Structure 1
Amino acid sequence: MLHLDARRIHALSDYPGLVGALKAMNRQGVDIIERMLLSQPTRRQEHGTGQNDWLLLPAWSFDRYFGIKLVSVFPDNPRRDLPAIQGIYALFDGRQGTAIATLDGAALTLVKTAANSAMASDLLSRKDAALLLVCGGGALAPHLIAAHCAVRPIERVLWWSRRPEALDPAPLRALGLPVEIAGDLDRAVHAADIISTATRATDPIIAGEWLKPGCHLDLVGGYLPEMREADDAAFRRAARHYVDARLTTVGVAGDVCAPLAAGLAKEGDIIDMFQLNRGERPGREDNREITWFKSGGGGHEDLAAAQYLYERHIGAN
C-alpha cells in the first residue's frame, strides 16, 4: 500500500490545485461526514497548561473515495522539539473498499488547512487585496502565507507573533514571498486587506475597531468553545458570517458559538462553504464590505486534499 510521507505531500502540494479540489468537494458534497473529539479521561489528558486532544475525522463520498484522519493535538510538544499536531490519514477506494494509501496526517493538515483558507479568500476577499497579515508563530503560519499569496496579488506580507524572535521569514523570502515581521499588531491590522489568524488565543487578539473597510478576516486557530481570536465588534462589523462546516464551528468554536450565544446573530444567518460554492447564498457584494470567515476543519476537506494528492502522485508515476 502506498504511503505519502510529509516530504512527498509538500512536494505534491500546489495551492491552486488544492483550492480547486476543495471547491469541487463543496459543490458536490459528501455522503457522510463526522467529527469526533474523544474526550473520555483516558483519551484527553488535562494538564497544567492546557489539554491534549485526539480527533477522528471520517468522510465518505460514495463510489469515489472514503477515509479517516486520526490526529493528536499536544500543544506542549514544541517544547520537546516535536510537532504539536501529529497523525495519519487512511484513504480507501470507494468502489471496492480497498485501502489504497496512507498519508502523513500532520503534513496533510497543514496543506489542507492553508488551502481551505485560501479557498475562502478566493471567494470572499477583494480581488485586488495586496497586503496580507498572518498572526501566529506555529507550523501552519508559513503555509497560510504561501496559500493566500497563491490566490491574491499580495505585494506585502506582515507576520506577527507574540514571540517575534521565533519567526524565520528567510525560507519564505527565498520563495519570492515579500514577508516582513510586524511589531505592532494594532497598526498591522489597520493596514491589512486580508488578516489570517492561526493562534491558540483564548482572549481575542483582533479588535473589530481595527478592521478597515473591505478587509477579509480569516480565523483559523480556535477549535474549542473557550478559544477566540476576534472580538464581538469584529463579528458585528462583518456584512455576513461564513464558516467552512457547521459541524466544526457552530456550537464548537468560540469565535462562532460565543457571538451566537450573545444574540449577535442566529444560526440560520451563518453561511457555510457548501452553500457559497453552490451559489445558494451570497458572497462579497461590494469592495467596502468586511468579510468574516471561521475555519473549523472537517473530514470532507481532508478527504478532498488526500484524494487530490493521491491522484497527483499516481499521475506523476
Structure 2
Amino acid sequence: MRTPTPRTPHARTVLSLAPIVLPTPDRAVDLRLRVSVPVGGGDLPVVLLSHGHGPSHHLSSLHGYAPLAEHWAAHGFAVVQPTHLDSRTLHLPADTPGAPLHWRSRAQDMTRVLDRLDEVRAALPGFDGRLDPERVAVAGHSMGGHTASLLLGARLTDPDDGSEADLADPRIKAGVLLAAPGRGGDALTAATAERYPFFLTTDFSTMSTPALVVVGDRDASAHLTVSGPSWHTDPYTLSPGPKSLLTLFGAEHGLGGISGYDVAETTDEDPARVADVRRFTTAYLRTALDPDDNSWPAACAALAAEPHPVGRVDAK
C-alpha cells in the first residue's frame, strides 16, 4: 500500500463549530450546520458540503465527512455542512413531505445557507474573518453529489407535479461531484426507478457550471444502476464544459473512506486513496475559485508524470 500523501506545510489549525442552528419555520426542523474554518485569516472561499445517504446513523449528517472537511478547512476554505432532512439523526417520520431522500429540500438547504451567510459567520466565536460570498463552491458525495448537480444546473421533472425543477444557484461558481448518481431512464434498476422516481429524468445538459467529477472505476453501485461504474461518469460526459473527470483506479463508492474515519461500510478503505481525493479536490477548488492559482494544472501534471498513477484526468 502506498504511503498517504503528507499534509502540506501550510496546513493550518482548524476551528470547527456544531451545531449552528438557523431557525427555519418552513422546514420540518430547523437547519443545523457544522462550520469548519482555519484559525486566522479572512476572506475565505466557501465550500458547501452535502452528505450522502448511507447506512450509518451519524455520518449522513453534519457529523460526517471529516476527512474532507478538516482538510479543506486546514487549507484555507470555510466548509459548511448541513444536516439534510434525509439524515437518520433527525428521526423524521416516513411520511414527512419529500421523503425518503428529500431531493428538493437538500438543494434548498444550500441556498438558505448562502442567503444567511452573515448569520453563519456571526455564529463563529472569535472569528473576525469574512466568508467570501463571491467565491463559493459546492461538493457532495453520492446523494450529496446529486444535490450538488442540481445546484450546478442539472434539472429533473418533479414526479409529484410534472414540473421541471430548476434549483441552480448562480452564486455557486464551481462544484466537486464525488461518486455522484448518473442519468435516469433505462440506466436505473427497476427498484430504484420505483422507489426514487425523481432519478428517472435527471438531465445534465443544463449543468454548465464548472465542476470536477470524481469516480472510482470499480464503483458498480448495482443497487442503483445497471450501467456499472460508467454511470458515475454521466455528470461529466452528459454535461457541457468546462468539466474535469478524475477516475481513481481501484476505487469503489467510498473512494477510500471519505465519509469518515474507519467507516465500516467503506468497501475500499485506503488512507492513501483518501489522501489522493483530498489532494486533487483541494487543488481543483483553489484554481476554480481563483483563476490565478495554478494548483489544479500542477496536480494534473504531477499525476501524468507518476510512473504508477493512481488515476487519470480527462477534461473538456
TM-score, normalisation: structure 2:
0.34
Name whichever structure is richer in helix by fraction.
1
TM-score, normalisation: structure 1:
0.34
Larger RCO (alpha carbons 8 Å, 6+ apart): 1
